[in-house]
Structure 1
Amino acid sequence: MSRARSMIAVVLLSVGVLLLGACGTLRAGTGGAGTGVRGAPAASESPRWQTFAPFRVTAARLAADHRTLSVDAEVPGNGKKCARDVKAVVTDASDRTVWVQVTFSALTGGPARNDCRKTMTATARVRLPSPLGHRELATDTHTVFTADGADPPDLRLCGELGCHPAPTGCTAASYEQAVMALDVPTHTSRGEEHCDGKWLVFSVSSRMGPACAPGEGPGCGASIGARWFFRAQTSGWTPIARTTKGGCGDVHRLEPEFPTALCTGLSPLRQPD
């Protein structure tokens, strides 16, 4: 955590947070010819207040009228000497999404303030044009909230697969969610899937050995794998069996109802020597 906060301090002091320009959101110092955005001011320049995006948006809440929105954001420092004018503005809306932009003002140029090396949570409020309903609330590219499945007044922070990932079904999104339910390394790859909507089987493989390209030396490109079998539940795909053998023998010992058509032609998985 200390390393992360040190990085945040360095980013702030070098004005590496996002600068909001008339042409969109840019990183300070990256403005080229014609963008109208200058680089970070030199340390010798007089301090001035400029507008930035927060480090991250951490939470969102809706009042009982379903229109008054409160957004928590992580900003620099210790009070208004480090960050002020925290604002939330509705920038666009559609039948599926409401986009809200969160900004704050911070001093740039001049000597750095030690008490601004830390971060704090600031809250901005805005009234939506209409009740959020089942629409998603997007506060930046990666931070999206929804009222569906949330515990009011809090909105629910959506995950990597979106606000409403397919819990089951023969879709790539549901297969990705099934992998997340397994105790496997982060960079595990998925093999061919066999699915009928209620039952699912696929193999997964994880790289092992030296970090080198296949064929460059002994063990390069080696991986270890397993075949997983799943049953569809209301909450998503639930793993029921794991094996490296072919056919249906292992899964049928644990779940006789698993369809033979999905497993009878499966070959044994080759394991590294």
Structure 2
Amino acid sequence: MRRLATALLCLSTLVGCAQPGALPPADGPAIDTVPATQEAPATDTGWVTYQADVTAVRVGPDPRSLALTVALLGDADGCSRNPRITYLTEENNRVYANVVQDSRLSGTVGACPTHTPGTVTLTTPGPIGDRIVVLNQEPWKRDGDGYQRCDTTFGCDPMPTDHCDPAWISVAVRGMDVSRHSVGSPEGCDGRWLVMTVPFDPVPCGVEARAGCDASVTVRRYFLRWAGERGWASIATSTEAGCGRVRSVEPAFPRKLCADLPTP
């Protein structure tokens, strides 16, 4: 009897360790899902709802449905059951949905070390068409019979092919140690090399400039090289006129882009 009581106490402790993740709204309209992996309802003792990460999206058998591939907690009975949609809404010509699973062991360290693929069917009241689908707050864009996860930098808009496009310039500035309000002003760009000025802080003297404050001292000139998928990479900075010291750092930087530039 003492061994039985000890075992029950240990089981109670393990169940109590399970903590829920970020719970999605539970008041969305009901939609079609895959049959539950187990028959017991989600309210069973110890079962907690967690997000199920979506790894792939494909067009379903009818215009109103999508087939979602999800990563389910695996390797033990009690790791995952009932992958499903718990929330669905349509706003601003987009479809929003949350994909979840139930787990009894995910709060136990080492109990569910792997993931196994599962499927969930998302069905909307009307045709989905080419609308953006946002799953667990991540947007997906249709690409033929499948969907591609939207880029973390450019969202669902096409990535600009012109390296001198303002969107690429903004990405470069966001990677600098400057104010989040700073904006780059290109002075020369040929697609491979870029030179621009960037203020450390656009309003260092306040919205209404303080007496004696000189904002110009916070502006620097940046020289950058195109680095492929990573975008623009900074190779030198200067507060001088012309090319400054960039050509001593990178002799290939074209003089024509910077030789006649004034002091920033």
TM class by shorter chain equals 0.5 to 0.7
AA matched with 1:78: D
Task: Specify the alignment match of 1:98 in structure 2.
Answer: 95
Task: Specify the alignment match of 2:169 in structure 1.
Answer: 175
Query: Is the Cα–Cα contact under 8 Å of residues 88 and 101 in structure 1 kept in the other structure?
Result: yes
2:19 to 15, 23, 32: 15
Task: Specify the alignment match of 1:153 in structure 2.
Answer: 145
CA distance in 1, matches of 2:232, 2:126: 39
1:228 aligns with 2:227: no
Secondary structure in 2 aligned to 1:175? helix
1:136 to 132, 144, 160: 132
Task: Specify the alignment match of 2:120 in structure 1.
Answer: 124
Task: Specify the alignment match of 2:67 in structure 1.
Answer: 70
What number of residue pairs does the alignment pair up? 201
Larger CA Rg, structure 1 vs 2: 2
CA distance in 1, matches of 2:187, 2:55: 39
Measured against aligned partners, the alpha-carbon deviations of 1:21-80 in whole angstroms (never above 9, x if no partner) come to 6579xxxxxxxxxxxxxxxxxxxxx835443322x3222222475543122222322376
Distance 1:100 1:21, change over 3 A: closer
1:51 to 49, 57, 73: 49
* Structure 1: stretches of 5+ with no match in the other structure: 1-9, 25-45, 181-185, 206-224, 268-273
Task: Specify the alignment match of 2:254 in structure 1.
Answer: 254
Secondary structure in 2 aligned to 1:129? coil
Query: Is the Cα–Cα contact under 8 Å of residues 195 and 221 in structure 2 kept in the other structure?
Result: no
Identity across the alignment (%): 18
1:86 aligns with 2:83: yes
Secondary structure in 1 aligned to 2:19? coil
Measured against aligned partners, the alpha-carbon deviations of 1:191-225 in whole angstroms (never above 9, x if no partner) come to 652148977643579xxxxxxxxxxxxxxxxxxx9
Distance 1:66 1:193, change over 3 A: same
Query: Is the Cα–Cα contact under 8 Å of residues 188 and 204 in structure 1 kept in the other structure?
Result: no
With the length of structure 1 as denominator, give the TM-score of the two structures.
Answer: 0.52
Distance 1:155 1:13, change over 3 A: farther
Measured against aligned partners, the alpha-carbon deviations of 1:139-159 in whole angstroms (never above 9, x if no partner) come to 123x21112xx4x33311123
1:193 aligns with 2:184: yes
Distance 1:253 1:21, change over 3 A: closer
Measured against aligned partners, the alpha-carbon deviations of 1:101-126 in whole angstroms (never above 9, x if no partner) come to 212222379x9596534332322112
Distance 1:170 1:52, change over 3 A: same
Query: Is the Cα–Cα contact under 8 Å of residues 241 and 254 in structure 1 kept in the other structure?
Result: no
CA distance in 2, matches of 1:178, 1:265: 22
> How far apart are 1:99 and its partner, in Å?
0.5
Secondary structure in 2 aligned to 1:155? strand
Query: Is the Cα–Cα contact under 8 Å of residues 170 and 195 in structure 1 kept in the other structure?
Result: no
1:164 aligns with 2:157: yes
> How far apart are 1:175 and its partner, in Å?
2.8
CA distance in 1, matches of 2:132, 2:73: 27
Distance 1:146 1:192, change over 3 A: closer
CA distance in 1, matches of 2:188, 2:60: 39
Distance 1:170 1:20, change over 3 A: closer
